[in-house]
Amino acid sequence: MRIQQISVSGLFGIFDQVIPLNMGDRVTIMHGPNGFGKTVILRMINGFFKSRYSVFRNIPFSKFRVEFDNCSSVEIAKTSNNRENRDDKNKITFKLETDSKTVNFRPQIRPQMGTYDKDFIVEILDDIIPTIFRVGTREWRDSTTGEILSLANVLDRFEDLLPPEMTRLEEEPEWLKNLKSEIDIRLIEIQRLVNFVPIHLIESQQRLVNFVPIHSSQSYNATGSRLPTVLAYSQEIAKLMQGKFTEYGTISQSLDRTFPVRVVKQQSSKNWTDEELRHQLNDLDKTRGRLIEVGLLNKDENPNFQFQPETIDETTRNILLVYVEDMKEKLNVFSDIEKRFELLRGILNKKMAYSYKEMNFSKEKGFVFTTCYHPSSPSAFKELSPTDLSSGEQHELVLFYELLFKVKPNSLVLIDEPELSLHVGWQVEFLRDLQEITKLADLDILMATHSPDIIQDRWDLTVELKGPKK
């Protein structure tokens, strides 16, 4: 099931916006003046599918509707009463509509603290939510409204800004859980260069690089901290590679133990001609070379096996047939990620060539960046930390990494302002790079942008958000 159209009525009490998604091209671009609701619409979509409903309480609107390609739809309606307490004022109701039924549900939006210690949450709320500041032991002032808020008020009102692990909601009906299980959503927000991560990941990351938190006041030693996203993702990719190397080693040991027996018994499911066998060996060499190039295979795993005799005797044939099948099974461990590594590395290296930087991967460090300001002198190469990259380079790395490695196939990815920190030349190339990635990763994209350089000549992919008719 896929989302076909999103609409919102009475947004900010002013706007009625309708966004049909491009089902064929799978990329939809929202554009329009500031204040017309681009970012808010992305947050509302994400809020619904991630059960972070405070976004609907805090944003003025009357109806929000999601329509699916199976002719069903969900509508979220807000009703206001005359009660003065803002936190009790706006109630929302969900309505599922299908060919056979209509079902209503009114969620009780009372987020609770999950596994995090209450004192820890109190200490970090000022850093996570920029519009509040502490005025008491467990009281905050909302700078936008002047209200004094309790801890419960803050958790309720700003739930959508908190890390998901910090909150949980009351049980939802089965129809709503089933609907959400059919659609995977990922929101890539403007503030994507900093991550909130558990402390055990930070301690592990510090062993990989010389990591210093962005601000010492944000080092939450009790449970977690804010970590540059490029470092968090560098650790993730290192763990992914280590897992693949372990799997490769396990399969190799198993196959190598039984290799002599299978050769003697001539246990091969193939019966290639000499020419086909040589072709298979050449393909294996090319595959090994590509895997070594992106760091997914050690250089000593390439035997530089050259076998080109005119004829192959029967004994050699038996050995080679089993060998080829074994190697294919071993290398198949990397088949699901090889193209993703190649594509990410290719896109970034093309961009960073102008600043004499190069990207590679390592199972120990994850992302490995080197620089050489004098390419003719090999001794000038110097390794960089991922945080040494420019903000534009980090934005590209984080965004494309998320699309390739953190999103399930057939997901809808919401991207807010992909042009951030990007040179005009990079903006011009962005949509082409994005379409190459979405084709490989099998994704739908809805993004919001102010940049005509992102759009280029693809205005057929755009939806313009407009103001009310005068």
Residue position matching structure tokens 């071993």: 330
pLDDT at residue 279 above 70?
A: yes
Cα distance from N-terminal residue to C-terminal residue, the chain: 38
Answer whether residue 405 shows pLDDT above 50: yes
Tokens of 68: 């699916």
Query: Residue 33 — very low, low, confident or very high, per pLDDT cuts 50/70/90?
Result: very high
Give the pLDDT of residue 118. Answer: 65
| Model confidence at 451: pLDDT above 80 | yes
pLDDT tier at 344 (50, 70, 90 boundaries)? very high
The mean-pLDDT minimum among 142-146, 326-330, 342-346 falls in 142-146
Chain segment 245-264, per-residue pLDDT in tens = 999 999 999 999 999 888 88
pLDDT of residue 375: 59
Q: State CA 307 to chain mean position distance.
A: 43
pLDDT at 160: 64
Q: Where residue 230 falls among pLDDT bands split at 50, 70, 90?
A: very high
Give the predicted TM-score (pTM) of the model. Answer: 0.80
Put residue 158 in one of left, alpha, beta given phi > 0 → left and psi -120 to 50 → alpha. Answer: alpha
- Return the percent helix, strand and coil in the chain, to nearest 5: 45, 25, 30
Give the pLDDT band of residue 132 (cuts 50, 70, 90): confident
Domains of the chain, CATH where assigned? 1-108+170-184+409-470 (3.40.50.300), 110-168 (no CATH), 232-335 (no CATH), 339-394 (no CATH)
Q: What is the DSSP string of 337-396?
A: HHHHHHHHHHHHHHHHGGGTEEEEEETTTEEEEEE-SSTT-GGG-EEE-GGGS-HHHHHH
Nearest to 275 by CA among 305, 321, 310: 310
Question: What is the arithmetic mean of pLDDT over 411-421?
Answer: 95
In angstroms, rounded to a whole number, what is the distance separating the alpha carbons of residues 442 and 403?
Answer: 10
What average pLDDT does the structure give for the chain? 82
pLDDT computed for residue 135 by the predictor: 87
- Whether the predicted pLDDT of 290 surpasses 50: yes
3-state secondary structure of 17: strand
Edge-first strand order for the sheet with 219-220 is 194-198, 224-228, 219-220
Min mean pLDDT across 71-75, 173-177, 456-460 is at 173-177
